[in-house]
Amino acid sequence: MSRKLIGPFTQILTMDHLPLKGPLQDEALQIISEGGIVVENGTIRKVGAFADLQKEADNAVLEEITEPLVCLPGFIDCHTHICYAGSRAGDYAMRVAGKSYLEIAKAGGGILESVRKTRAASQKELERRMSARCERLLSEGVTTCEVKSGYALNVEDELKMLRAIHVVNKKQAIDLVPTCLAAHMPPKDFVGSPSEYLQMIASQLLPQILSEGLAKRVDIFIEDSAFATEEARPYLMQAQEMGFALTLHVDQFTPGGSFLAVELAAASADHLEASTNREVQALANSDVIAVVLPGASLGLGYPFAPARKLLDHGAALAISTDWNPGSAPMGDLLMQAAVLGAAEKLTTAETLSGVTFRAAAALELTDRGVLTKGKIADFIGFPCEDYREILYQQGKLKPDLIWKAGETA
Ligand code: NIG
Ligand code: FE
């Protein structure tokens, strides 16, 4: 049994004792000054004043911190598409020159361009590319990351994507949470209607995913250019009956999809840039986590999702990068959360909650996101003396030290 005491940290933000839903004031943050963390076998045993822990835990090995460091739970990026091949720099150049995302998609670019490249890539190539992205995420303090399939849109290559995610998850220190997004768009080469495509996925792909243990979550893109609510409902209900948790891409350009997320008690409803007061209220009245994706707004030159309004109505707000080759190529969670916070007037507590315990809730993970006894020892240390420096530097201040399951990564 390996027990160690890590500290002293100038401040530890535990993110404990905060509600899952609604607005948060910074005064509610639990801050432990000159704090320490006792870790045993990858799990947090105790968080408290360093001096007290030093007296109590005298059989623990001391991992001494010798610089000012503010400690937070490891960040959780709860919505990404980092398993892909190719680049869409051409799309981006067209967009900044004035073409819309949907126009580019209709002309055969967009998601289908990434589908062509990802289908052509070997599983090994996908693993290599994803590993490099995982290393960058971890170095920026992301210790858990959701990853979707959805750039293959056929049984064989969707499985290839999910197997690549599975392999990388085993090899890399970061924890990956896989999601099947075979319902990203109806593929061009499928002979049949969008509903028939979804039926095929439900009968041929989802059972295989279950038997190989490749994912426990299913996602769909509800949009004019992808699937309609009426097409999505039977597919999602079938997935739910098979035991999958649901997460939905909704209200990105067209409102309305959130209602289906609420109706089906999905774990999360993601995007929400086009949500109106009706969608906001429906989400706030439900247990669905509202996931906003500032990286997609930045990548598309679009307004941000109404994060302030979601919180004020009482929703649980998580913030994620949506890192993908098309709409959100940047993939910097802290920078994007900080910029969203500045634009939407989020308190520091709200922004940091959105990338820690509220993001854990979007993934239905109860073992992380806060620094308390029994949670996985995932935490990060920023080189500063006051936690407010972190968002103030708008993503430019990166963590100096990262612990994944109690080990420095
Ligand atoms: O979340 N909106 C749908 N899917 C992705 C974009 C994927 C792409 O453009 O490649 C998103 O933004
Ligand atoms: Fe997405």
State pLDDT tens for residues 14-40. Answer: 999 999 999 999 999 999 999 999 999
Rg (CA), the chain: 21
Task: pLDDT tens for the chain, 409 residues: list them.
Answer: 589 999 999 999 999 999 999 999 999 999 999 999 999 999 999 999 999 999 997 789 999 999 999 999 999 999 999 999 999 999 999 999 999 988 898 877 899 999 999 999 999 999 999 999 999 999 999 999 999 999 999 999 999 999 999 999 999 999 999 999 999 999 999 999 999 999 999 999 999 999 999 999 999 999 998 999 999 999 999 999 999 999 999 999 999 999 999 999 999 999 999 999 999 999 999 999 999 999 999 999 999 999 999 999 999 999 999 999 999 999 999 999 999 999 999 999 999 999 999 999 999 999 999 999 999 999 999 999 999 999 999 999 999 999 999 999 9
Are 140 and 332 within 8 A, CB to CB? yes
Between CA 356 and CA 20 the distance in angstroms is 11
Does ligand 1 have an atom closer than 6 angstroms to the CB of 80? no
Are 226 and 254 within 8 A, CB to CB? no
Q: Which atom of ligand 1 is nearest to the CA of 299?
A: 12
Q: What's the gap in Å between 327 CA and the centre of ligand 1?
A: 6
Does ligand 1 have an atom closer than 6 angstroms to the CB of 255? no
Q: Which residue, by CA, sits nearest to atom 9 of ligand 1?
A: 326
Q: What's the gap in Å between 81 CA and the centre of ligand 1?
A: 8
pLDDT of residue 105: 84
In degrees and rounded to multiples of 5, residue 246 shows phi and psi of -115, 145
Does ligand 1 have an atom closer than 6 angstroms to the CB of 172? no
pLDDT of residue 1: 59
Pairing of strands 31-40, 43-49: antiparallel
Q: What's the gap in Å between 322 CA and the centre of ligand 2?
A: 5
Buried b (16+ CB within 10 A) or exposed e, 275-306: beeebbbbbbebebbbbbbbbbbbbbebebbb
Does ligand 1 have an atom closer than 6 angstroms to the CB of 179? no
Are 382 and 397 within 8 A, CB to CB? yes
Does ligand 1 have an atom closer than 6 angstroms to the CB of 322? yes
pLDDT of residue 108: 76
Amino acid identity, position 194 = P
Helix (H) or strand (E) run with residue 95 in it: helix 89-96
* Choice from 220, 222, 249 to test ligand 1 binding pocket (greatest atom count within 8 A of CB): 249
CA angle 260, 264, 269 (to 5 degrees): 60
Measured in whole angstroms, the distance separating CA 238 from the mean position of its chain's CA atoms is 24
- The environment of the single-atom ion ligand 2, i.e. residues with CB closer than 5 A, is 322
Q: Which domains does the chain have, with CATH numbers?
A: 3-74+369-408 (2.30.40.10), 76-362 (3.20.20.140)
pLDDT of residue 101: 84
DSSP 204-228: IIHHHHHHHT--SEEEEEBSTTSB-
Q: Which atom of ligand 1 is nearest to the CA of 271?
A: 1
Rounded to the nearest 10 degrees, the angle between the axes of helix 155-171 and helix 123-139 is 40
Between CA 76 and CA 140 the distance in angstroms is 11
Q: Which atom of ligand 1 is nearest to the CA of 110?
A: 9
